[in-house]
Amino acid sequence: MAPPLHLYLLELSIATPLPDMPGSDAAEVRNDAELVLTLGHRRYRVRGWKKPQGPESLKVNLLVHRPGDVAGRFHVDTLDLYAVKARVALVKAGGQELSEAEDVLKHDLGRVLLAQEAETSAALTRESSTA
């Protein structure tokens, strides 16, 4: 037997709206060789992404810090963003050094990877259009 109509309508009215989709992260390219991303109160600087590499590798130098941190804590490492072991190590060490939750840094690192891929793709498009 179906529930009364007023109970069905009540269930529909208490449903929560869908959350907003995350916006695109604003990545700033500096000196044509440095990508800077600010995510929350953390700033990521990526270097070395312009070096020629194969499609299976994305080896970069990555620095994460909090610009307003009076203690000046930061973490810097050179890693392949496509290598899961390297990402896990960065998240663990960065979490300890910055006293930040590893889940937050893991999520940030995924966003850094996607921004890096987008910028690399855009750079390749610009280079091919000028050639």
* Backbone phi, psi, residue 20, to 5°: -65, 145
Residue 14 in domain:
no
Tell me, yes or no, whether 52 lies in a domain: yes
User: Is residue 4 a part of any domain in this protein?
Assistant: no
Please tell me the distance from the alpha carbon of residue 69 to that of residue 79, in angstroms, as a whole number: 24
Structural domain contains residue 18: no
Number of domains forming the structure of the chain: 1
Structure tokens at 100: 């930040």
Does some domain include residue 8? Answer: no
Average per-residue pLDDT for the chain: 82
Determine, yes or no, domain membership for 1: no
Reported pTM? 0.74
Query: Range with the lowest mean pLDDT among 10-19, 56-65, 90-99, 110-119?
Result: 10-19
Residue 11 lies in a domain: no
C-alpha span between 23 and 109 (Å, rounded): 16
- Residue 9 within any structural domain of the chain: no
Model pLDDT, residue 119: 84
Q: Which domain holds residue 94?
A: 24-130
